[in-house]
Structure 1
């Protein structure tokens, strides 16, 4: 009981600091503000679940539409494992969405290691995608370069 005033003060400050961090001078939080000239993000996709794939493509488009990042964002979509269907002709039918993202500057990268393991050829993939030796290697390099790694 002797330490009660100190404990009360500590509890009060612990509750106050996060609340203060979420507001600006007007008292409302408006999200992080862009302070850099360029931002970089890699979206990694490793499942053939079409709902997850659609969600990932929508997330990429949402990032491109964010007014804080407009004209400042580099994005790469790295596909591996079961997500190969994202880039496979005639399978999941993502061609138009992918072409639209690519027109906006998104790098569409397919893992060659996945292709070898699943005995897939480049002829089975959309002709407009790019290739990386391994998805994991690409993610490691990009992370070391400072790119945000996003897994939808």
Structure 2
């Protein structure tokens, strides 16, 4: 009888060990809105999520009309963007194609903001890797 209990315990332990562990979330948020209310909403969502789930990864992809969100001289959320970009679990990226269209140089960006070659390709690539996708709007 003890053999069966030991065998059962070992099998349960092995099953628990082999069962896929919950992985940290990977969340991709994109914003194209020039509306500063949307910029504030995105910052609030990313800050709250990154704090509540510190093992998760978040990436914000900024393109189109949202470019002002990361421009030093035009942003209303610059300090928040800088703080988020300095967190180890958050990346703030802007589209190089959008920068080109708006004649923006990398020196105009809020500190910590990274540049990706193309926002759409970035979004598709992250989705292919299994990232959850959120279109941010107010």
TM-score by length of 1: 0.71
Gaps of at least 5 residues in structure 2 are: 1-20
Matched, 1:40 2:23: no
Across the two proteins, how many residue pairs are aligned to each other?
115
Give 1:63's match in structure 2, choosing from 20, 24, 49: 49
Q: Determine helix, strand or coil for the equivalent of 2:107.
A: helix
Q: 2:72 aligns with which of 71, 89, 98?
A: 89
2:31–2:61 CA contact under 8 A, matched in 1: yes
Structure 2 length as normaliser, TM-score? Answer: 0.77
Instruction: Give me the CA root mean square deviation.
Output: 1.3
Stretches of structure 1 lacking an aligned partner (at least 5 in a row): 1-34
SS, match of residue 130 in structure 2: coil
Match of 1:151 among 125, 135, 138: 135
By relative contact order (CA 8 Å, sep 6+), the higher-ranking structure is 2
Correspondence 1:66-77 to 2 at 5 A: 66=52, 69=53, 71-77=54-60
Q: Name the structure with the higher helix share.
A: 2
TM-superposition CA deviations, 1:66-96 (whole Å, max 9, x none)? 2xx2x32100111000100011012123221
Deviation at 1:104, TM superposition (A): 2.2
Q: Distance in 1 between matches of 2:75 and 2:23?
A: 36
Alignment of 1:18-37 (within 5 A): 36-37=22-23
Query: 2:82 touches 2:110 (CA, 8 Å); kept in 1?
Result: no
- 1:105-120 equivalent positions in 2, closer than 5 A: 105=88, 106-120=90-104
